[in-house]
Amino acid sequence: MSRKEENRTITKDGQLLLEKAHRDGVVTAWDRHEAQQPHCGYCEMGLSCRICVMGPCRIDPFKEGPQVGVCGADADIIVARNLGRMIAAGAASHSDHGRDLVEVLENVALGKGEGYGIKDEAKLKKVAAEYGISAEGKDVRMIAGELAHAMQEDYGTRKKALTLISRAPEKRRDIWKKLGIVPRGIDRETSEMMHRTHMGVDNDWVSILLHAMRNALSDGWGGSLIASEVSDILFGTPQPKPTSANVGVLKEDQVNIIVHGHNPVVSEMVLLAAGSDALLDLAVEKGAKGINVAGVCCTGNELLMRHGVPMAGNHLTTELVLATGAVEMMIVDYQCIMPSLGTVASCYHTKMISTSDKAKFPGMEHREFYPDNAREMAQTLVKEAVENYGRRGEIYLPVAPVDAVGGFSVEAILGALGGTPGPLLDAIKAGKIRGAAGVVGCNNPKIKQDYGHVTLIRRLIENDILVVDTGCAAVATAKAGLKTAEAARFAGPGLQEICGALKIPPVLHMGSCVDNVRILVLASALADALGTDISDLPIAGAAPEWYSEKAAAIGTYFVASGVYTVLGPMPPITGSMNVVKLLTQGLNDVVGATFAVEPDPEKAAVLIRRHIEVKREKLGLSSVKV
Residue ranges in contact with ligand BF8 by CB under 6 A: 262, 297-298, 314-315, 336, 441-442, 471-472, 512-513, 548, 550-551
What distance separates the 2 farthest-apart alpha carbons in the chain? 73
Q: Confirm if 599 and 561 have CB atoms less than 8 A apart.
A: no
Pairing verdict, β 507-511 and 311-313: unpaired
66 part of the interface to ligand SF4, by CB under 6 A:
no
Find the shortest distance in angstroms from Cβ 84 to ligand BF8.
19
Q: Does residue 194 bind ligand SF4 (CB under 6 A)?
A: no
> What radius of gyration, in Å, describes the C-alpha atoms of the chain?
24
The answer to the question of residue 129 lying near ligand SF4 (CB under 6 A) is no
Q: Around 545, how many Cα atoms within 13 Å sit in the side-chain half-sphere?
A: 30
- Please report how close the Cβ of residue 331 comes to ligand BF8 at its closest, in angstroms: 15
Pick one of ligand BF8, ligand SF4, none as the site partner of residue 471 (Cβ within 5 to 8 A by kind).
ligand BF8
Residue 18 touches which member of ligand BF8, ligand SF4, none, C-beta under 5-8 Å by kind: none
Q: Which is nearer to ligand BF8, 97 or 434 (CB)?
A: 97
Please report how close the Cβ of residue 543 comes to ligand BF8 at its closest, in angstroms: 9
Nearer to ligand SF4, 58 or 172 (CB): 58
Residue 554 Cβ vs ligand BF8, minimum distance, rounded to whole Å: 8
Are 23 and 462 contacting, i.e. CB atoms less than 8 angstroms apart? no
Q: Check residue 89 for interaction with ligand SF4 (CB under 6 A).
A: no
Pairing of strands 241-245, 402-406: antiparallel
Q: Output the CA–CA distances (angstroms, integers) from residue 587 to 213, 561, 591, 596, 612, in the order listed.
A: 11, 11, 6, 11, 18
Nearest Cα neighbor of 587 from 522, 516, 531, 535 is 535
Length of the chain: 626
Q: Which is nearer to ligand BF8, 298 or 519 (CB)?
A: 298
Tell me the closest approach of the beta carbon of residue 197 to ligand SF4, in angstroms.
9
Which of ligand SF4, ligand BF8, none binds 441 (CB below 5-8 Å, type-dependent)? ligand BF8
Please state the separation of Cα 521 from the chain's center in Å. Answer: 15
Angle of helix 516-530 relative to helix 225-235, nearest 10 degrees, comes to 100
195 lies in the site for ligand SF4, by CB under 6 A: no
Burial of 82 (0-12, 13-18, 19+ CB in 10 A): buried
Those residues with Cβ within 8 angstroms of residue 180's Cβ, 6 or more apart along the chain or in another chain:
210, 214
Burial string for 242-278 (b: 16+ CB within 10 Å, else e) reads ebbbbbbbbbeebbbbbbbbbbbbbbbbbbbbbeeee
Q: Which residues pair with 366 in a beta bridge?
A: 354
Tell me, what DSSP letter sits at residue 488? G
Give min distance, CB of 89 to ligand SF4, in A: 17
Q: Which of ligand SF4, ligand BF8, none lies near 336, with the C-beta cut-off 5 to 8 A by kind?
A: ligand BF8
Kindly tell me which residue out of 10, 16, 29, 73 binds ligand SF4, with binding defined by CB under 6 A: 73
Closest distance of CB 453 from ligand BF8, Å: 10
Q: Applying CB under 6 A, does 69 fall inside the site for ligand SF4?
A: yes
Which of the listed partners (ligand BF8, ligand SF4, none) does 513 bind, with a CB threshold of 5 to 8 Å by partner kind?
A: ligand BF8
Residue 186: CB minimum distance to ligand BF8, A: 17
Nearer to ligand SF4, 52 or 414 (CB): 52
- Total residues contacting ligand SF4 (rule CB under 6 A)? 14
Is 70 a binder of ligand SF4 (CB under 6 A)? yes
Q: Which residues bind ligand SF4 (CB under 6 A)?
A: 49-52, 54-57, 69-71, 73, 78, 199
